[in-house]
Structure 1
């Protein structure tokens, strides 16, 4: 396949993955407004923030493994349609419970991202696989952070319901692009769904690297989710008193960090993924120390956002490249196991952060995050002693 054609397809995958992933985070700058719409307090906002991530976690465990059985292109197409429907329902419902249910299903549909990432790994040559995965991961990162920026701006001027409806339309465009621009996958062996699920635990037990990557990645993503989930609520309080648009603009700083992490895949190919991961996690650790010590300084918050995103997105690119290199025949299942633990930890981190913020303040959130990143760095460092078991 010509390299230009592969590049275009990888770009389509990256953009589509970013659009899909943005929907789980675009409402975060608007959480104070949502609380007013549904007349709920700060504690309940933890459930609103965690619902998409909880749904994403369930989808990773029960839906994503089917990528090893069915055509990933068709699965992604239908999941995009389902995601659009959830967005439209969320935009019009007057009920908090319906909103939470739609958010949960929306998270399940967002596992499109896993199929798109596996697709990118499959169409790339082995020597460029980490780079292709890095491009799609950059798209996901831009979706997460850009979703906050666009969500905050549109939400403040048009309202969060209009913003969700517009997101639904954009998702439908992605479904069309996937349908017409990506190639079909070759036929796969028909494996019963029950056997696919049963194979997950043995796969996890066999790989020391998968266990290490999942535990370490879960730790730093719990910190990432805790930080970003309650950032808007923190900025709405003294001494900042920022609105949704101003809070969303912090995503621009994060985007700069995410873009700088694009080279992480290339560095992982050159010097090894483990070194990239440890460097990235320790960078985030230093950022949380900075924000904990200077907890009321705006400059420390801006610099901290930049360093957190540079560090953790770089670590994620290198970490998932390791996981995707383990077994091509079980790529969807391996990746789903990894991301199940990754986003499960993220959902817990997001929910816990609001309790910490409400009862103990922003310093407690930063302390929680720096503790998690330290444990993640320690896990990867200790795992280096067992590198020969998996070869990564």
Structure 2
């Protein structure tokens, strides 16, 4: 029999959790999986859910911040994510992380098709498992037909759908509508649905939560099963103008036209090597994709928020953020016959200009102001 004097006290203080988060950060930063210390955290009495959300989740958010600030390479970001994923796998098999009993119900957790950032969904799956749910975790980028087939096969109590890329909003909408058509309610989360859940409500989700802990709390109350026969236009009547469809369908041509326009404005672009041209084309393609998402939701903040974030990423990589502006000018000119698209570009361009010249921000023309994004 173990005496109380040999049992470590629960590590519930913020300082103790921060210490373990720092240890994990140092491990993922150096690529040293064995230094991650998850078993030590459990031995210190850190609850498994706290370890998942306040240690692993906290470190993963820092990985994203450090990548955006150009203090982690893409390879380091991938390595860090892989270590976090393996720590979660270890935790799932640890005897100190046994799920609650009795079983509360069955839930399918999946990422939107095209969504590779699976760690938030994995964290949710493990938290729900700890709280007594039977979880079918399907992982990254699950095509809607395969997800629907799985629902027919398993008949879960609900679907939890995760996504972080706002450009996947149309796919997310189609997927949650298809799930609801089977009678299964859908809880959604992730940046794709807005930090305040605005797009979750707009697209007709049954519930939304900003993080895994609040999602688990929300599911203390069951979500009602329902049959749904509503159509996309019921949720988004502005799509009747066909601008989203036409812009999305002409995305490749828009990218080519903007790139050609940049060559006229900035002759130096003509001398770019293949790698530089590819990067420039990719940047323009992202701009067009986010414009499409803004058209789909009729929300200019989707586009302006992306532009301001991109400006910060460019600055961290020594590319003048002001170089975004001529690309926006060219895109607006190319879409001058699309009033809603042109209006979104104009408003977002103004928001970007204001952000670039806000007090305390670095010079938006730093380095070579004639170099396009």
Same fold, TM exceeding 0.5?
no
* Greater C-alpha radius of gyration: 2
Q: Kindly indicate whether structure 1 or structure 2 has the higher relative contact order, using CA contacts under 8 Å at least 6 residues apart.
A: 1
TM-score between the two structures when normalised by the length of structure 1? 0.27
The structure that is strand-richer by fraction is: 2
The structure that is helix-richer by fraction is: 1
